[in-house]
Amino acid sequence: MRSGYAIAAAVVVWLWSHLVPAESPDEGLALSCLGEREALVVSRQMPYARVTVDAREGYFVLDFGADVSAITPQGFADPAKPAPIAGSRDRYRDFRFFGNWGQVRLLLQRRAPVSGSVAQAGVIGTDFLSRHIYTVDYRGAALYRAQPAGFCSDTALQAAAFVPLSTRGYYSSQPATLNCPRAGGPGRCPNIPSLPIRLGGVEAIAQLDTGFDDGAQPHSLNINQAMFDALQRSGVRLQARPEIALQLSTCQQGISERVDAYRVPAGTALEFIGMNGQAVRREAQVTVFVKRPPREALVCGGIGTWQQPAAQLGASFFASGMLIVDPFSARVWYRR
């Protein structure tokens, strides 16, 4: 009987090892080179980290598409909400995220732009995120932070099936060095990782927006008028989808922006352009939303005000694997 149990156990072990997919985040990679680790919560394809402000705990979305961090006090579970320090509207004490940052600046966001299974208490933007290398492991529910010294080598990342994309000129640990040629040039650069893409022969820069909830329409791509016009000139016949058009608020009170939706036609794919100038990834099922801010909202900035083709990538493009955002080498690495 004991030998029968042993055989049965061996069969179970064999089945487990062969039939259960491996989801180890560090497969082929020394986990220690990713740096410090914190837990991550993923809701509506967006990554959330647990943050403490003034001894109150809440969940902040990690938003590489925002260059300024914000706080939504109502998102904290504690009845006593965090409040700015006396005499200030945007300075908060005891901000803890991978350690204590002390007193920090957080813009007030009275309402979170999305609602999901996680109460959003704020946004961690690139004013914080550009100071370290961050690895977002969506499947493994983990967030890592590292400095360049001791971080994983290119050889190790490539051996672990990571693919690099350039963000040069658009994202840096030293924002003053940015030149962002498609965004108006030096002095006008939002410090947001932006990747080279191509759609229907039209080349553009696409902002990596991990806070862009595109759960209702996975693989959503916001584009500006310049890119829409370029697609029309190149012969791409975008198919209108008025049933999912949006009406969005802007930074100007009482001013809204209509965002028209289109389906990318069959045979046309969104391409991500690698370090050698060749396409390293193609996505055929893409929904395009065209941003046309009204004149009164141009002061709000964003790709809608740019004169050259530009886009924003929805969170779903990278939410199924791992994402490394490195402001020091100006690269993003992803693994699907």
Name residue, tokens 């794919």: 269
The answer on pLDDT for 255 being more than 80 is: no
The answer on pLDDT for 10 being more than 70 is: no
Tell me if 269 is assigned to some domain: yes
CATH number at residue 280: 2.40.70.10
Q: Which domain holds residue 211?
A: 162-335
Question: Is residue 101 located within the same domain as residue 222?
Answer: no
pLDDT of residue 128: 98
Interval 110-147: pLDDT, tens: 887 776 789 999 999 999 999 999 999 999 999 999 99
Buried residues in 316-335 as b, exposed as e (16+ CB within 10 A):
bbbbebbbbbbbbbbbbbbb
Domains contained in the chain, number: 2
Give the 3-state secondary structure of residue 242. helix
Q: How confident is the model at residue 13 (pLDDT cuts 50, 70, 90)?
A: very low
| Mean pLDDT (whole number) for 37-59 | 96
Question: Is residue 194 located within the same domain as residue 266?
Answer: yes
**What is the rounded distance in angstroms from the CA atom of residue 229 to the CA atom of residue 182?**
15
Q: Strand 256-263 relative to strand 287-291: parallel, antiparallel, unpaired?
A: antiparallel
Tell me if 216 is assigned to some domain: yes
The answer on pLDDT for 165 being more than 80 is: yes
Tell me if 212 is assigned to some domain: yes
Q: What is the pTM of this model?
A: 0.88
- Cβ neighbourhood burial of 77 (10 Å; 0-12, 13-18, 19+): exposed
User: In degrees, to the nearest 5, what angle opens at C-alpha 198 toward C-alphas 193 and 201?
Assistant: 155
Interval 194-204: pLDDT, tens: 999 999 999 99
Interval 222-241: pLDDT, tens: 999 999 999 999 999 999 99
Mean pLDDT of the chain: 89
